[in-house]
Amino acid sequence: MALIMIIIGSDHGGFKLKGELKNFLEEKGKTVIDCGVFNEESVDYPDIAQLVCNRLFEKKASFAVLICGTGIGISIAANKIKGIRAALICNEFSAKMASEHNNANVVCFGGRTTNFDSAAKMLDVFMTSKFQGGRHQARVDKIMSIGECNNEKTR
C-alpha cells in the first residue's frame, strides 16, 4: 500500500476537531504532519492556511486538512495560494465530488459547525474517492489558469 502523508492544521476554532481527525487518520495508518495550533490561544487562520499549504508542497504530501471555526475563512485563505484547490466540505456527497470532480488537494472543515463523527465520515469518503479526470481535468485546468487578482471592492 502506498504511503499516504497528510498535512493537518487549524486555528483555535478547529483545535479540538484537528486532534480528533489526526488520531482518526493515524489509526488508519496514515502519516500525519501536524502544523498546529497546539492550544486554544487565538491565532489568525490565514497564517495557518499558508503554513499548511507550504508544507503540503514541500513534503509532496497527498493532501492537507485545514480547520477553523466554520471552515470558511481558512478555505478562502488557502484558495489564494497558487496550486491550491481547497474544498469546504459539509456532507459526504460534497466530499466525494471534491475528489472526483475538483481534485481538491486541501479539504476544510468547521470545528464549530461539524462534529467529529461527521467529519471523519466525510474524510473517509474523500480519501476513498478518486479524481475522474476527462472533462473534469479540463475544468480543473481552467481553475488553475485563473491567476488575475481583482481587487475591486464588491461589497
Q: Which residues are catalytic?
A: 101
With a CB cutoff of 8 Å and minimum separation 6, the contacts of 40 are: 12, 15
Note whether 73 binds ligand RB5 by CB under 6 A: yes
State the cell numbers at 17. 476537531
Residue from 69, 85, 96, 129 binding ligand RB5 (CB under 6 A): 69
Residues in the chain, total: 155
Note whether 43 binds ligand RB5 by CB under 6 A: no
Note whether 72 binds ligand RB5 by CB under 6 A: yes
Stretch that binds ligand RB5, among 52-60, 69-77, 119-127, 128-136 (CB under 6 A): 69-77
Tell me which amino acid residue 95 is. Answer: A
Residue from 15, 45, 63, 126 binding ligand RB5 (CB under 6 A): 45
In order of 20, 22, 72, 125, 153, the CA distances from 120 in angstroms are 9, 10, 18, 9, 37
Enumerate residues 93-112 that contact ligand RB5 by CB under 6 A.
Answer: none
